Structure 1
Amino acid sequence: MYKALIIANEFPPMGGAGVQRTTKFVKYLRDFDIEPVVLTKDHPGGLTDGTLLNDIPSGVSIHRLKAYDTVNRKGVMRLPMKFIGTRILSPDSEYFWYKFNRKRAEKIVREEQIDCIYTTSFPYSSHLLGLHLKRMFPEIPWICDFRDEWTNNPYHLDSIYKKIKLKMEKRKEFEVTSNCDFFITNTPLMLKGFISDDPSLAEKSVFIPNGYDEDDFRDSEDRRDGGERFVITYTGSLYGRRNLDEFMEGLRAAIDRGHIRVDKLEIRIVGNIYEKVVNSYAEKYGLKDSIRSYGYLPHKESIQMLFNSDVILLVIGKGKGSRNFYTGKIFEYIRANRPILAIVPKDGVAADVIYETNTGKVVDPEDIEGVTTVLSELYKEWAEGRISHDPNWSEIEKYSRKKQTEALSDIFKNVIEMAAERSRK
């Protein structure tokens, strides 16, 4: 059995969407003759979900390197250090974690007798640690996995601080892409963008989408619990372009036209979202009695909230680059067997998933009237007791986390065997 060093700065008990992909890979790699060895950071606090540790197989070696945390720091230095971490450090707030733990990482590679190294971002500092190890151990193949774009990330393009650092980060990004042995993204359009920036990736890359884990759904109850209310649920984060503005504008128009009764409406917001953000929407759109905020919930409880709904809301945001990615939760949405209202770029990868799986309605974020129309139609169907939903389950099953782990394990084996062949020559 080969040993793979999995470098993932974000890992349980840290909570949130960023840990899901790596956690599921670690859960299933042994099924395909790969022994995972995890290198992560000591969890300093912040978003926590201890239930995710249940996915980690017994005996998996986990090395938690010292955290040099600038975001979750407590005390009087919290705000200045958070500003430094998120605005000034390059490429991100985990720069010190990468920089000061390099020797420890080298020791782990030697002691664990690692056959290949896998790094995943965000944060991009994980790839810088992989780059360092590749230079120290050139014979060990290194696989890079990008869950989000780096310099072409649309959310980063909105930041003046990122724009200032763009040239420097472009150089770092190219060092990573040109030196890795294999390259992975989670969407085809994202991969296309990376290849455009670095054509050398064309011969050593693939996309492996995010997905859902059937085990996460086994104990869930397939029941709506809104009673006399039409329940729309949103789970996840809200930041930057990813907001509820277009949804709220379309909803308010549907209410004003008499297509939706506000006293029959319940909007549930689940995730690590500031209460003041939810309250501002309630105030602005006259929905104080219709919006409920649940905060961050353990992963399986969040999934149950999907089953409790009549409609699930998906938002991506608009603007340059938004068509290139989808949020990880889209795959749990499509598995939850509820109609999805997807306010996403109509020519983007998120829309493609909804179309292929026949799991909802897609409306472009620029089309507020379209949002109003679809919401009105869904409400009318619900009120008449005939809300329609006919998913394509054969397409949905393609996004199984176990199948994706099998694809990753094949990559690991191929690069390891190719490296061994080179060493024999």
Structure 2
Amino acid sequence: RKAVNFFSVPDGHRIWARRARKTADAIVVRHGIQVVLTSSAPYSAHLIGMYLQKKHPGLGWVADFRDPMSTHRGLVTIRRPPGWLGALRACERRILEAADRVIPNTPMNRRELMRLFGLPGGKATAIPNGYDPEMLPEPGVRRGQSGKLELFYIGGLRGDWFEGPFYEALAILKQQAPDLAGLLSVNFVGADAIIGSKAEDLCVAEDIRMHGFVGQEAVGEFYTQAEAFLLILPSHDTALGWVPQKLYAYLHCRKPVLAVVPEGQVADYVRRSESGVVVSPADSEEIAKALRDMLETFAREGRLDLTRSQQAEEFVGTLSKPHLASEMLKMFRQLVDDKTSGFPGPGSSDPICG
């Protein structure tokens, strides 16, 4: 299995995709399917779409990428055989050229696809991962306040290369404004322990409460307890189009977000939604200043309120899953209309990558 994952293009699920083609074809024939949606990961799912499109020329095919493929941030840390990345990019090109429509998961990833592969603008439509309002508390709800500024980070930890600048900022805050630092309660939800040694070395590990991995219902309670949210991304080019799922939930909850991120898609979303402050992960002093500003407001007013313009609220509404599903449905209907009216679409004679 490890050897298959190591050498396979686009991924180790390629054998599954080949076996699944027969089942998918039977479903298309039996139900008179007009549009097929393939969604990755795994990226091998798109090979099924290529196969079906070749076998049924009138079939519409939408290739949905919930994460980038050959430009995925994780590829920088994965060891692969020589030439593998080039083969992956060639496979991605064939998928993009063959599909009738392509869905990247952020506007920045859409622009990157257009730049790298020369996709026409009308072929690719960004549809973010978004948030499900039915699985989250009502915006602005607070419960169980402790008298401290409860700052919550929801999600897994990655180590000092990722969270290190925030630990440095905590140390600076404790040194420069110890009284204000005493009002801050930092909460990490989704990990049992800090990864790396920097927090211990800087004597801030004891200031962070670890809540471990919890279920969806418990996460909802943490969203209501939060006075503000923390989001961290590294200073790396591969992080520019990366939008962690937690951000969409943060924006829905209508509480301030401290976004320790590089200039990129997350920074754009936070600013467009008027939901907080963006600080570079390369500047621990500025992160400490942002924390201090939040704490001074909290000390003065006893809470942090977030007021957004109508335009910002409308933008956040466009990130809800019901809205995004309706946009995807419009795409499917338009594609069916194009196919039935004889509108020419891109095609490919190569059903398998590699």
TM-score with structure 2 length normalisation? 0.86
| Cα distance change on mapping 1:219 and 1:400 into 2, 3 Å | closer
Work out which of the residue numbers 331, 337, 346 in structure 1 matches 2:248: 331
Work out which of the residue numbers 265, 273, 283 in structure 2 matches 1:367: 283
Report the CA distance between 1:262 and its aligned residue. 5.5
Q: What is the distance in 1 between the residues matched to 2:118 and 2:319?
A: 28
- Percent of aligned pairs with the same residue? 24
Query: What is aligned with 1:208?
Result: 127
Q: What is the distance in 1 between the residues matched to 2:140 and 2:303?
A: 20
Q: What is the distance in 2 between the residues matched to 1:302 and 1:240?
A: 22
Report the CA distance between 1:144 and its aligned residue. 1.0
Q: What is the distance in 1 between the residues matched to 2:215 and 2:71?
A: 31
Residues 318 and 345 of structure 1 are in contact (CA less than 8 Å); yes or no, is this contact kept in structure 2? yes
Comparing 405-414 with 248-257, greater Cα deviation is found at 248-257
Work out which of the residue numbers 138, 141, 145 in structure 1 matches 2:64: 145
Query: What is aligned with 2:326?
Result: 406
User: For residues 230-245 of structure 1, what are the structure 2 equivalents within 5 Å?
Assistant: 230-239=149-158, 243-245=162-164
| Cα distance change on mapping 1:147 and 1:320 into 2, 3 Å | same
Q: Secondary structure at the match of 2:341?
A: helix
Q: What is the distance in 2 between the residues matched to 1:239 and 1:226?
A: 29
Indicate the RMSD between aligned Cα atoms, in angstroms.
2.7
TM-score with structure 1 length normalisation? 0.72
Query: What is aligned with 1:353?
Result: 269
Query: What is aligned with 1:246?
Result: 165
Count of aligned positions: 340
Query: What is aligned with 2:88?
Result: 169
Of structures 1 and 2, the one with the larger relative CO (CA 8 A, separation 6+) is 2
Give deviations 1:100-155, integer Å, cap 9, x for gaps.
Answer: 32222222222232221111222212222222222232321100111221112233
Q: What is the distance in 2 between the residues matched to 1:197 and 1:219?
A: 40
Report the CA distance between 1:409 and its aligned residue. 0.5
Report the CA distance between 1:258 and its aligned residue. 2.7
Comparing 176-185 with 413-422, greater Cα deviation is found at 413-422
Query: What is aligned with 1:28?
Result: none
Residues 318 and 344 of structure 1 are in contact (CA less than 8 Å); yes or no, is this contact kept in structure 2? yes
Q: What is the distance in 1 between the residues matched to 2:34 and 2:303?
A: 55
> Is the counterpart of residue 270 in structure 1 residue 186 in structure 2?
no
Report the CA distance between 1:416 and its aligned residue. 1.2
Report the CA distance between 1:220 and its aligned residue. 8.6
Gaps of 5+ in 2: 344-354
Structure 1 letter corresponding to 2:222: M
Give deviations 1:393-421, integer Å, cap 9, x for gaps.
Answer: 23322222212111111110111121122
Query: What is aligned with 1:378?
Result: 294
Work out which of the residue numbers 142, 155, 162 in structure 2 matches 1:223: 142
Structure 1 letter corresponding to 2:334: N
Comparing 275-284 with 92-101, greater Cα deviation is found at 275-284
Report the CA distance between 1:177 and its aligned residue. 0.2
| Cα distance change on mapping 1:86 and 1:323 into 2, 3 Å | same
Q: What is the distance in 1 between the residues matched to 2:318 and 2:104?
A: 17
| Cα distance change on mapping 1:281 and 1:309 into 2, 3 Å | farther
Q: What is the distance in 1 between the residues matched to 2:271 and 2:100?
A: 34
Residues 156 and 162 of structure 1 are in contact (CA less than 8 Å); yes or no, is this contact kept in structure 2? no
